[in-house]
Amino acid sequence: MTRTLITPLLSVAMTTVLSTSVMASDLANIHASACGTDPAKASSIAMPTGALFVRGTNLDHAANADEDFPAMVKLKMVYQHDGYAEVEHCGGTVIDSRHVVTAAHCVKAKDGSQWDRIEIVTGDASLESDKVIRRTSHTAICHAGADNFLANDIAIIKLKEPLPREIVPAKIDDYRRPTVSPGGIAIAAGWPVTGDRAGETVLKKVPLSVTDVEWPGFITVTSPFGRMEGVCQGESGGPLLTTTNGHRSIAGVLSGIQQGTNDHTGEPCMMAGYDMYYTPIAAYRDWIEDVITLCSNNPDECRGTSESSFFMSNAPSFETLGRLASVAQFKN
């Protein structure tokens, strides 16, 4: 039985995003902090890494990935206890063979606990396929300004082993060049954990209408038909896909849903025409590149956990108070 450990979050705080130099010497200088685990202290449970890829063979792998979201991944943050494990669900997108972009609130430590590992599944639209590719990670880097109001809600996960070339990384929006605008249509995707399609193991896609683009706050989307449809809790960090002049790009990562969508049973996302909120990648593209560069050149800097007191968000405004609920952590 799935039980929610979601704490409703009250607001979106407007933020100021700073572009930084890739020559920064440590995470603090690029407004980032390590939010992963120390591999030496993490559980030593052996996890499968998927098929071993040999040049010229295994070409059937990734053949069943969704054509719109071939770089989509399922994330499971595993909290290992004595004799049992709890799992939090999120989504993400492969942006190169070693890195996945997701929401910071998926991977930040909370409630005084820290996950032991992240399990990553990709390469097939069906989670139950025997052709999925699996990886693990202990390394996650969060924006230092990520807070409980879902400001700066973006993070990078570094995989323990690279993904094969069959997993083609997604194109993401350029810095300060969002591919979304109010009145446009974008496509969201995820493996439903909650909502009216909860528990389905095949990737679901849904077209959504863009109603607002705050800079650098949130991309707001909703059903173009006013229906009870969209992504829901447990699918945080998943991508919002846009198409401009025939070119596809990931414009955002899922951060929140409108509060008050629960039905009489407490199930979320059961209100027609509810809003969903995505953190815009175009506001953080330089930050993403800075993190990847630093962690590739100085991996020790990005390992383990560290704290940062650097926050870029302001206090939440009354206009946005009560607007969001976190859409990530559902533990089994």
- Smallest CA-to-CA distance from 140 within 163, 164, 166, 109 is with 109
Query: What pLDDT is recorded for position 85?
Result: 87
Query: What pLDDT is recorded for position 59?
Result: 53
Q: What is the pLDDT of residues 206-227, one digit of tens each?
A: 999 999 999 889 999 999 999 9
Give me the mean pLDDT over the 245-257 stretch: 94
Is 120 a domain residue? yes
Lookup: tokens for 153 = 């809600």
- Smallest CA-to-CA distance from 135 within 150, 152, 122, 148 is with 122
Amino acid identity for residue 286 in this structure: D
CA separation for the pair 47, 27 (Å, rounded): 29
Give me the mean pLDDT over the 91-107 stretch: 97
Query: What pLDDT is recorded for position 325?
Result: 61
Query: What pLDDT is recorded for position 246?
Result: 85
Lookup: tokens for 97 = 């063979």
Check whether 17 has a pLDDT greater than 50.
Answer: no
Is 94 a domain residue? yes
pLDDT band, residue 317 (cuts 50/70/90): very low
Burial (0-12, 13-18, 19+ Cβ within 10 Å), 131: middle
CA separation for the pair 142, 73 (Å, rounded): 18
* Lateral strand order in the sheet of 133-137: 32-34, 139-143, 155-158, 99-102, 84-96, 72-81, 117-122, 133-137
Amino acid identity for residue 279 in this structure: T
Give me the mean pLDDT over the 79-107 stretch: 93
Lookup: tokens for 178 = 């969002």
**pTM of the predicted structure, to 2 decimals:** 0.84
- Per the CB < 8 A criterion, the answer to whether 285 and 303 are in contact is no
Check whether 11 has a pLDDT greater than 50.
Answer: no
Residue 100 Cα to chain centre, angstroms: 8
CA separation for the pair 11, 48 (Å, rounded): 39
Number of domain units in the chain: 1
Check whether 135 has a pLDDT greater than 60.
Answer: yes
Q: What is the mean pLDDT of the chain?
A: 81
Query: What pLDDT is recorded for position 10?
Result: 24
Cβ–Cβ contacts within 10 Å for residue 128, how many?
A: 8
HSE-up (13 A, CA, CB side) for residue 184: 17
Query: What pLDDT is recorded for position 155?
Result: 98
Where is pLDDT greater, at 251 or 51?
251
Percent of the chain with pLDDT over 70: 77
Going 297 to 303 to 308 to 314, the CA torsion angle's sign is: positive
Is 141 a domain residue? yes
Query: What pLDDT is recorded for position 61?
Result: 66
Q: What is the pLDDT of residues 67-88, one digit of tens each?
A: 999 999 999 999 988 888 889 9
Is 83 a domain residue? yes
Domain CATH code at residue 144: 2.40.10.10
Asked which of 124-133, 145-154, 230-239, 322-331 is least confident by mean pLDDT, the reply is 322-331
CA separation for the pair 116, 9 (Å, rounded): 25
Is 109 a domain residue? yes
- Per the CB < 8 A criterion, the answer to whether 117 and 135 are in contact is no
Q: Which domain holds residue 122?
A: 21-169+283-311
CA separation for the pair 48, 135 (Å, rounded): 7
Query: What pLDDT is recorded for position 83?
Result: 84
Q: What is the pLDDT of residues 50-65, one digit of tens each?
A: 444 444 455 566 788 9
Query: What pLDDT is recorded for position 43?
Result: 60
Give me the mean pLDDT over the 309-324 stretch: 36
Is 258 a domain residue? no
Is 179 a domain residue? no
CA separation for the pair 79, 110 (Å, rounded): 11
Is 33 a domain residue? yes
pLDDT band, residue 45 (cuts 50/70/90): low
Give me the mean pLDDT over the 22-32 stretch: 75
Strand 219-222 to 276-280 pairing: antiparallel
The secondary structure of 193-212, three-state, reads CCCCCCCCCECEEEEEEEEE
pLDDT band, residue 228 (cuts 50/70/90): very high
CA separation for the pair 282, 83 (Å, rounded): 43
Angle at 275 between CA 274 and CA 278, to 5 degrees: 150
- Residue that is written with structure tokens 């020559």 in the block: 23
Q: What is the pLDDT of residues 164-207, one digit of tens each?
A: 988 999 999 999 999 999 999 999 999 988 877 788 899 999 99
Query: What pLDDT is recorded for position 60?
Result: 64
